[in-house]
Structures are given as structure tokens and as C-alpha cells.
Amino acid sequence: MLQIYNTLTKQKAPFKPLVEGHINMYVCGITVYDYCHIGHARVMVCFDVITRYLRSRGWNVNYVRNITDVDDKIIRRANENNETVEQLTERMIAAMHEDEDALSVLRPDQEPKATAHIDEIIALVSTLIEKDFAYPAANGDVYYRVEKFAEYGKLTNQNIDELRSGSRVAIDEAKESPLDFVLWKAVKPGEVSWESPWGAGRPGWHIECSAMSKCCLGDTFDIHGGGPDLPFPHHENEIAQSEAANGCAYANYWMHAGPVRVNSEKMSKSLDNFFTIRDVLGKYNPEVVRFFLARVHYRSYIDYSEESLKEARVMLERFYQSLNGMAGYEYSKEDADQVNISDFEQRFNAAMDDDFNTPKAVSVLFEMVNELNKLKKSSEAGAAAMAHKIAELGGIIGLLQQDPDAFLKGDDKEGEVDASAIEALIQQRTAAKGSKDYAESDRIRDVLAAQGVILKDSREGTSWFREG
């Protein structure tokens, strides 16, 4: 049975969908004012793995991930660039999709934009005003009355009295309470805006997700996910808005990905340890980056470092080295049964059913690699069956779908010897061995090894791969 850790209840429990066999999931997406960074990649990959696995087990998943395409940062950046908000956001959305495609992140079923749901946002704010959970202020903004929602703080165990005592209000503050947050912002000079019953303006960040999730999934849905920085105040405010307006539970399960740290420090531009996805992909194979992100449990923090990525490369190489050359072999169901493939598959699924425990699932895949290497010496058909299942289970989490030989040879990077030069040196080495010039043969092997190219001799000839 699938077990999920629920941030709301602070415990792991069996998953029970609203509709048998169906899962409606909403994940807070990107604010598209800049290129996506490695923290965004973590959330993308986490929920992609979760979605892939659920579908592999027969669930009908409706995965919604929004795009925030209007907010303060976007407006400020567009002005700095001397371009429109739409020009900036469309460019950044295209870049985000490029990054996702490189990381083999499947597109969500729905990808609503905030600017396409202004009518729904205005309707939701109007409902909150009608129910006295919100009020228009003298400055033209509309605010949510936090203290009227009795359960405010339930997601993150925030005490409203402590929140109030820790807040400060400026003398000219238009809010009734320091805790109140904005639902609709009055337009300022040079800003994009829409007409509303309270004057021209634009939505606050929190109300956007409440409106978009309601539009795509209804008043109550199964899973709400997001990054580590969202539980407070963003998700807390979403709950307050949606449950006050709709009069029912918002999301039944809350899931949050863990943070990315850089050499054990918080990632920050001010610390000069901030990496965009494309920065990282310029140095590492995209599958290495995906494996690095996916092999750590989604709720755990992950430490980004050159050493961690090199380790991920070495681990992935081990998979592909074992799978290399296995595609052409045939096998039967009986061959698979004889090598206990079903036992490995059951343990893989059991790990993933336990709150998507990818570290344990990956460890099962490594056990299968060990078994594959043994079977290569005793059972060609059994080895083929094991290799097929390794690739199949790896595919469930978006891994091991490349041609092994192509992965091991890799793309030519700046500063690396290119593939044609490697092949030429291998031919020279083969000729040297043919003439029994073993000193020259060893010299060429050492030259390539010094450049991270490892040779592997067999009856069929010499193959090679790049060392991580």
C-alpha cells in the first residue's frame, strides 16, 4: 500500500484518494523572471519521479503545475530589461521547458498561468470579501483577515499569538492587522494591471494558486506539493484563502521537497554559490544531474558539490557499463523467473510505495547490477532478462534510457579529447599490439587514461568510456 508523509499531519500514512484509482495533484511552479536554478530542478525532478512511479502502478494522475507570470520580481526585471512583462515571461518559460527537457522531466498535464486566470482570481477575492474574510483598504489593496481564520498556522504549527507579537506595522500601514496579507494590489505607475471591482491592479502571489488549483482540480484535491520554502507563508495562506472561500478542505496531502545546499551552505547569489540548471548542464551530462537529484529522498536536503556530481557520474557509469552490449540478447519469461526478477521488482516497488524512497529503490537496482554481472558468466538469457528489467525499473524514475555505449563515451566537452581522436589512438594501439610493440600499446593506453578515457579489451575488440 502506498504510504505518503503528509506535511499537514507530520506523519506517514496510507494514501486514500478522493476517487479510487485517480490522483489530482497540484504543485507550485516557477516564478518566471530568470533562468531556473538547481533548487528548481530538485522540485521538478522530485515530482516528475513521483508522477512517473504512480502512473507505472496504474494510477490515473492529473498533474497540474502552475506558472507565476506576474509579480513584483517579474515587473522589476522587465523594467530593468526594457521589455514587457509578457516578453520576459515567455522567454523564461521557453528556457524553463528547455531545462526540463534536458533533465527528462515530463510536462505536467496542465500548466496554468496566473495571467490567464484573472477572472477566477477576482471572483475568489470577491467571495472572501462577501464572507468577511477580506476587505478593501484605503490604499486600493485588498487584504485577507488572517485572525478570522481559526485554523491559520495548522500546516506549519504557527501560533497566531506568537506571529502577532513578532510583527510590526508601519505608521501608514493600511492593514487592519500586521498579519493580514494582500490578495489584490492596486496598480502603481509603470505596472501591468487589470480592472477589478476595487480598481485597476493585479493579484497577490498567494491568491493565484488558490484560484488556479480550484479551476483545474476543484475545491478539494488529493496532493499539494512544492519546494522547501513554501509551507510558510505561501501554503499556509493558500489554505486560509481556499478553505474560507470554499467551506471545505483544500488538499488532503501536502508534500514538500527538501532544500539544496551548496557545500553545506544555503544557496544564495549573495554567497556566490548560485547555479542555474544550464550552468550545471554545461559541465555534466543531464542524466548525471537527474540521478544526483533523484537518488536522494525527496524530503531530505541535498548537498550540491563537484564531488557529489562526480560520485553520481561514477555510479551511473556502473549501471551503463553493466548494461552495455546487452540489448541484442533474447530471453523468455521462464528465463526471467529463473533469475528471480520478480523479487527484485517487488522490493523496488515496496521502496517506492514507502513515501517514494528512491535511495532504497536505487540500492535494489545496484543489487540487480551485481546479479547481472554474475549472470553474464553463467546465463546469457538470464543476463538479458535482468538487464531489461534494470532498464525498465530505471525508466520509472527517468533513468537508464540512453544507449549505454553513447552514454559512456559522452559528449565532447571543452578540454576533453574528442571521440574521433580517441578512435584514432585506439587504432594505433591495435596496430602496435599486432606488431607486438607492447610498450607503444601501453603508452597509448596511459595517454588516454590520463585524459579520463578507459579502454576495455575483449574478443570483439577494444571499447572505451570516459571516466567521471
Would you say 215 is a known binding-site residue? no
Mean pLDDT of the chain: 92
| CA angle, 5 then 6 then 12, to 5° | 40
SS (H, E, C) 133-197: CEEECCCCCEEECHHHCCCCCCCCCCCHHHHHHCCCCCCCCCCCCCCCEEEEEECCCCCCCECCC
> Is 36 annotated as ligand-binding?
no
**What local confidence, expressed as pLDDT, does residue 461 receive?**
65
pLDDT for 56 beyond 70:
yes
Q: Quick one: which of 251, 170, 156 has its CA closest to 210?
A: 251
Q: Is 148 annotated as a binding residue?
A: no
456, pLDDT greater than 90 = no
**Dihedral sign, Cα of residue 16, residue 18, residue 24, residue 29:** negative
- Estimate the crossing angle of helix 341-353 against helix 358-375, to 10 degrees: 170
**Alpha-carbon gap, residue 418 to 430, rounded angstroms:** 19
Q: Helix H segments across 282-418?
A: 286-294, 306-323, 333-338, 341-353, 358-375, 380-396, 404-409
pLDDT band at 265 (very low <50, low <70, confident <90, very high): confident
Is 224 annotated as contributing to ligand binding? no
State the average pLDDT over residues 341-357. Answer: 97
pLDDT tens for 434-443 read: 888 888 888 8
∠ CA 422-390-335, nearest 5°, is 115
Where do the domains of the chain lie, and which CATH numbers do they carry?
Answer: 3-257 (3.40.50.620), 262-408 (1.20.120.640), 412-466 (no CATH)
Asked whether residue 256 is marked as a ligand-binding residue, the answer is no
Global model pTM greater than 0.95: no
Of the two residues 280 and 422, the one the predictor is more confident about is 280
Task: Kindly state the cell numbers that stand for 207.
Answer: 491568491
Q: Assess contact for 223 and 235: CB atoms under 8 A.
A: no
The one-letter code for the residue type at 462 is: T
Q: Give 138-180 pLDDT, tens digit per residue.
A: 999 999 999 999 999 999 999 998 888 776 555 457 899 999 9
Mean pLDDT within 104-128: 98
Q: Is the pLDDT of residue 254 over 50?
A: yes
In the chain, the N- to C-terminal Cα span, in Å, equals 38
The better pLDDT of the pair 270, 378 is held by: 378
Half-sphere exposure for 155 (CA within 13 Å, toward CB): 24
Q: How sure is the predictor about 468, in pLDDT bands with cuts at 50, 70 and 90? A: low
- Cα–Cα dist 370/393, whole Å: 15
Say what the pLDDT of residue 242 is: 98
Q: Rg for the chain (alpha carbons), in Å?
A: 27
Lowest mean pLDDT among 73-87, 140-154, 161-175, 360-374: 161-175
Residue 239 has which C-alpha cell? 489554505
Q: How far is it, in rounded angstroms, from Cα 445 to Cα 423?
A: 12
Q: In this structure, what C-alpha cell is assigned to residue 361?
A: 529503490
Contact 123, 200 (CB under 8 A): no
Omega cis (within 30) before 233 = yes
Mean pLDDT, residues 363-373: 97
Q: What is the pLDDT of residue 414?
A: 46
Range in 238-252, 296-310, 450-464 the model is least confident about: 450-464
pLDDT at 115 over 90: yes
Q: Is the pLDDT of residue 269 over 80?
A: no
| pLDDT (tens digit per residue) in 302-346 | 999 999 999 999 999 999 999 998 987 888 989 888 899 999 999
Q: Given this model, what pLDDT does residue 434 score?
A: 83
